[in-house]
Amino acid sequence: MTEEKLNHKTLKKDEFEKMNIFGMGNPNDAYAKYFVGNSFLNPLTEIGSSSVFLANVTFEPGCRNNWHIHHATKGGGQILICTAGEGWYQEEGKEAIPLKPGMIITIPTNVKHWHGAKKDSWFSHIAVEVPGENCSNE
């Protein structure tokens, strides 16, 4: 096997969990219909306990969410803080951007987009729901 193939080998779940410092959490069953593949959710703040909700979202290799939009009349949007593995982020009409740990993606309101894991990598990010007025997701 060439070195290039070794570098692109998919990590096993238990190897990835050692790198995933915020924890994988539980299967994201409540939102499974919005994903292709399996995702996991580990809330880092309690809903209603602060003005900002944070959660570590983990995607199995090849898992991604569907195209979606975070709507708001003021404020709103989402911030992704990439923490482990490798993934993708794409806005409608633009090229996909590769994601690696340490990268931060600011997603404005009303921008259609998706994000998820590369086909050969587990991927985690902290999702920050930016407070706003009349927020909803589509």
How deeply is 59 buried, as exposed, middle or buried, from its count of CB atoms within 10 A (0-12, 13-18, 19+)? buried
Q: Which two tokens stand for residue 120?
A: 């050969």
Mind listing the pLDDT tens digit for each residue in 63-122? 999 999 998 889 888 999 999 999 999 999 999 999 999 999 999 999 999 999 999 999
Which pLDDT does position 13 carry in this prediction?
80
Rounded CA-CA distance 23/44 in Å is 10
All structural domains of the chain: 3-137 (2.60.120.10)
Which pLDDT does position 71 carry in this prediction?
87
Higher local confidence (pLDDT), 49 or 100: 100
The whole-number average pLDDT for the span 6-14 is 63
Looking at the predicted structure, is the pLDDT value of residue 135 above 80? no
